[in-house]
Structure 1
Amino acid sequence: MPPHYPPVMLVDGYNVIGVWQRLQAMRDAIGFESARSELIETMINFSAYHGYKTTLVFDAYNLETPGKTEKLTKHLKLYYTEHKQTADTYIEKVCGQFYRDPMRHLKRIIVVTSDRAQQLTAVGFGAEWMSALALQQEVEITFKSVKHRQKAQAQDTKKLLGNRIDLETKARLAKLRESLD
């Protein structure tokens, strides 16, 4: 049996923030840091649910700093590009490595951006492409599914005997349990 490789998702963070209306509003009202934090939290949950190995890529083009990776969870890491490197060039580099990987036929890489040139480049390297809006829809569908499942589990607990008997009977049962100890 061939080895299992979890899907890899590369997300152009600032591109997504610029497309999702709720993140745009947050960015404009409070600043980039709050929008970035909200996107990170969203992607932690989404990636864990789907089992993706996600890298959120943020440009640090104008900062004179080396590239930096922060592993936040088993499923999500952040990459801040190095000086004079864009998220696009980093994503292209990773896609190029994927293209040269002799095991790529067993792997899946998804690039999330609404940048048309980046889309064409990623697909040219054999990666899948997802627009920022398509990711937003996938996130919303996933969260609705999770809520629906949680609601169903909560309803199942209402069916337990302990949740259906009156307080007087519960008190009598508690007394009986105490006398058995």
Structure 2
Amino acid sequence: MQTILLVDGYNVVGAWPRLARLRDRHSLEAARNELVEQLAGYASFRGYRAVLVFDAQLVTSPLVRASETPHLEVCFTDYEQTADSFIEQYSYQLLRENRRRRVMVATSDRAQQVLVLAQGADWLSSEQLLKEVEAARRQLREDLRNRKARPSNKLADRLDPTVRDKLARWRFGE
């Protein structure tokens, strides 16, 4: 079953301590970029298709959508459209098109939570998403550590050393 994760970008930036510090000390753009990187890795690891949505209320440009990776798309909403309304409409559309797909919405906005749950989507708070992202990062590190500790998958690595030496001598005509 395909899982699509819709994320309210600025809600998450405000809820994750590291992103809020980045926003306050450096810039909103720095916090957005960090969130993009975090979600790209998370979505790839979990096999989700993630859509990260940012408000563009005060911008006069139309909807902008860009695929950052095969697993992550970043959207800036239309002029005077909130991320909440975009996510609500898009989750409804996704569920209507295919009831077999799983739609998850990440936001701590209570009104949006109630609405998407009523539509049939799953919901997780921004804080829960942070825990999920951190757990995926730990699991990835553990998987990589285990892969390095495992012997390679080569036949030569599994052979008895004396057999390996004899085969090497044959190969070189000794």
TM-score range, shorter chain: 0.7 to 0.9
Find the residue that maps to 1:65 and give its secondary structure. Answer: coil
Find the residue that maps to 1:111 and give its secondary structure. Answer: strand
Deviations 1:128-148, CA, capped at 9 Å, x for gaps = 001000000011111111111
Residue equivalent to 2:107: 113
Residue equivalent to 1:169: none
Tell me if structure 1 keeps the 8 A contact 2:95–2:101.
no
Tell me if structure 2 keeps the 8 A contact 1:98–1:125.
no
Out of 44, 66, 75, the position equivalent to 2:40 is: 44
Aligned-residue CA RMSD in angstroms? 2.2
What CA distance in whole angstroms lies between the structure 1 residues aligned with 2:80 and 2:92?
Answer: 19
What is the deviation of 1:153? 1.7
Find the residue that maps to 1:91 and give its secondary structure. Answer: helix
Out of 68, 71, 74, the position equivalent to 1:75 is: 71
What is the deviation of 1:98? 3.1
What is the deviation of 1:74? 1.1
What is the aligned length?
Answer: 161
What CA distance in whole angstroms lies between the structure 1 residues aligned with 2:94 and 2:138?
Answer: 33
**2:17 maps to 1:16:** no
Find the residue that maps to 1:79 and give its secondary structure. Answer: strand
Runs of 4+ deviating beyond 6 Å: none
Unaligned runs of 5+ in 1: 163-172
What CA distance in whole angstroms lies between the structure 1 residues aligned with 2:5 and 2:18?
Answer: 22
Alignment of 1:63-142 (within 5 A): 63-101=59-97, 103-104=98-99, 106-142=100-136
Residue equivalent to 2:141: 147
What CA distance in whole angstroms lies between the structure 2 residues aligned with 1:95 and 1:154?
Answer: 40
What CA distance in whole angstroms lies between the structure 1 residues aligned with 2:95 and 2:35?
Answer: 28
TM-score, normalised with respect to structure 2: 0.85
What is the deviation of 1:99? 4.3
TM-score, normalised with respect to structure 1: 0.82
Deviations 1:106-155, CA, capped at 9 Å, x for gaps = 11100000000010111111110010000000111111111111111222
Find the residue that maps to 2:2 and give its secondary structure. Answer: coil
What CA distance in whole angstroms lies between the structure 2 residues aligned with 1:154 and 1:88?
Answer: 43
Alignment of 1:26-45 (within 5 A): 26-45=22-41
What CA distance in whole angstroms lies between the structure 2 residues aligned with 1:153 and 1:100?
Answer: 41
Read off the aligned partner of 2:123 and give its amino acid letter: W
Read off the aligned partner of 2:79 and give its amino acid letter: H
What CA distance in whole angstroms lies between the structure 1 residues aligned with 2:94 and 2:4?
Answer: 10
